[in-house]
Structure 1
Amino acid sequence: MTRQPLGIIAGTGFYDLGALEEPSARTVSTAHGEASVTTGTWHGLPVVFLTRHGAGHSVPPHLVNYRANIRALADLGVQDVVAVNVTGSIDPELAAGDLLVLDDFLDFTRQRAVTFFDGTTPEGVVHTDVLTPYHPEIRRELLEAAAAAGRPVRDGGVYACFEGPRFETRAEIRLAALAGADVAGMTGVPEVTLAAELGLRYAAISLVVNPASGVGDAEEPITMEEIDAALAASSAHVLAILDELVHTRATLTTPDDGDDA
């Protein structure tokens, strides 16, 4: 295993990686626009960190430039990507603070640029297989890191992606539940499928921060205060898992003179 940079993508509540050594912010220009990333090392492993919503949560989910973000990671030499999704629970057995390593998704978005291959590129129209959208090997690394860090996670979960930035209606959540969704979010798609189009090995861990609309006994409106409180109580668990995963990778890799994060 060589020291290729690991891509880490996160969203709400995860705006920097405190453990990142010698962090350097930079802007990467791509054919699809610019992406802001932070490069550095973690346990000596090169890392490229990208926060979807930008500094201060300035970019709403439906306006995230997913194509520029994924293209930038690939251009920087990333092959493996670990993503963090902050979600609402559709499965009533899931509570705030619970973690899932996702294995499938539903796409309820409507107006996003969803492919690199829109017919205008030299490749023409490309139909990408997403039988296993979350890479089995990276999923295994996440599960093993969680076990080593002593953080319980559910192995598997279906992520329902909605357009946002508003929260979902009760009817929308009932529809997603009927389709088999476990959690709801606003940023996981098309990120996961764009990664697949470029051949990146992508997996995601979901942190539940609230019950989705109408789930269980939830009768009160969803508030950012509720989400922020859950993040404050639980984000350390996600960071502990990432820390263990990066540490394990660092011990299994050897420096390569040509590597550059």
Structure 2
Amino acid sequence: MTTLAIIGGTGLTRMEGLTVTRREMVKTPYGAPSCPIVFGELGGRQVAFLARHGSTHRIPPHRINYCANIWALHSVGIKRIIAVGAVGGICESCSVGTIVIPDQIIDYTYARENTFFDGGADPVEHIDFSYPYNENLRSALIDGAAAVDELNVVSQGVYGVMQGPRLETAAEIRRLAADGCTIVGMTGMPEAALAAELGLGYACCAVVVNPAAGRDGQKVDTTALPASIKSGMSNAVKVLDRTLQSSVLEES
């Protein structure tokens, strides 16, 4: 039975190297997920893959049905999730091309369906979210990234999640930096919290594709993003391939 899933973000709408065995469009109480779940083998391990923004990357960050995505994965037996996402680098160590495995997260989003405990027939539950990422999954990702030659890896970080789809202002980035954020993206929440509500292990592989607004004294060069995303996601696939070979995953 497949118990590990990869959620692909911008630039990772299909999983290179995945030997596909089947696809399944799962019905959920929360509506349709972004696309069918793809099942197959990668790195010698059975995995499931879900493209967060849809198979043609048409769903913006604030309109992703995070509840449906996480519920769908849970309903087919997934116990652990590795989430890949493109982010901006705020601190100096998080330069373009860096792979960051964050250990903390701050949510700045709004008006998103962000919990399964939203009243109704079931009692409200308050989960512990002190440490949002699964440490065994993080360790496997860190080891996997370290095994890729000439790759800059940062093994800790604070992921600041903004609403999107626009990029941030320089003032917003200064605020995030003051709050302790080291990277900024648009999809880390409520995805991580929803996984926690269903008891799923969850970790993030964040790919830095641009300096955050104002960090280099310049505007974000959006014309350079496609090439940066392509290169960064190619490295992320290498990290995932090495990670899936880790014995640490058996303990997650």
Range of TM-score over shorter length? over 0.9
Structure 1: distance between partners of 2:51 and 2:20: 17
1:28, distance to aligned residue in structure 2 (A): 0.6
Q: Residues 252 and 203 of structure 1: is their aligned pair in 2 closer, same or farther, counting only changes over 3 Å?
A: closer
Instruction: Trace 1:74-223 onto structure 2 (pairs within 5 A).
Output: 74-122=74-122, 124-150=123-149, 151-217=151-217, 219-223=218-222
Alpha-carbon separation, structure 2, partners of 1:169 and 1:113? 25
1:32 pairs with one of 27, 30, 33: 30
Distance 2:20 2:106 in 1: 38
| Equivalent residue letter for 2:22 | S
Which residue of 6, 9, 27 maps to 1:11? Answer: 9
Q: TM-score, normalised by structure 2?
A: 0.92
Identity %: 38
> Equivalents in 1 of 2:250, 2:80: separation in Å?
15
Residue 167 of structure 1 aligns to a residue in which SS? coil
Q: State the secondary structure of the residue aligned to 1:95.
A: coil
RMSD: 1.9
State the TM-score, normalized to the length of structure 1.
Answer: 0.89
Unaligned runs of 5+ in 1: 254-261
Residues 4, 222 of structure 1: alpha-carbon distance in 2 compared, 3 angstrom cutoff: same
Per-residue CA shift, 1:106-153, capped at 9, x if unaligned? 11101101100011142x111111111001111011111122333431
Cα 1:161–1:51 shift into 2, 3 Å: same
Answer yes or no: is the 8 Å Cα contact 2:39–2:49 preserved in 1: yes
- Of 91-100 and 241-250, deviating more is 241-250
* 1:134-180, Cα deviation, whole Å (9 max, x unpaired): 01111011111122333431110000001111111111111111000
Deviations 1:200-258 (A, max 9, x none): 000001110001111123x23441x32111122222211111001123359969xxxxx
Mean CA deviation greater in 73-82 or 87-96: 87-96
SS of aligned partner of 2:26? strand
